[in-house]
Amino acid sequence: MLTTLALRGGTLPFMAENATHDHLAETEFSAGATIAFVIGLLIVFAIAVSLYRRRRK
C-alpha cells in the first residue's frame, strides 16, 4: 500500500506537508527504509553467527 501511494504520487501525512516537495519526502523515506533494512540484516547476521558458534562448541 505504501509503495502504491508513492508510485501514484500520493502523499502520506508523515512524508510531506506540501505536495511540491514530494521528491524530497520520498528520498527521506527511502533513506530511512534503507537504514532499517541494513540494521535488520545486521541483526539477522549476528543471530546467525551466535547460533553457529553455539553449535560448534
Note the pLDDT tens digit of each residue in 6-52. 555 555 555 555 555 566 666 666 888 899 999 999 999 999 999 99
Number of neighbouring beta carbons within 10 Å of residue 34: 10
**pLDDT in the model for residue 52:** 95
Distance in angstroms (rounded) separating the CA atoms of residues 38 and 31: 11
> What predicted TM-score, i.e. pTM, was given to this entire model?
0.48
Domains of the chain: total: 1
Question: What pLDDT is recorded for position 56?
Answer: 86
CA-nearest of 30, 5, 26, 7 to 16 is 26
Instruction: Write out the residue range of the structural domain in which residue 32 sits.
Output: 2-56
What is the end-to-end Cα distance of the chain in Å, rounded? Answer: 46
- Which grid cell is 6? 508513492
Task: Give the phi and the psi of residue 10 in degrees, each rounded to 5.
Answer: -75, 160
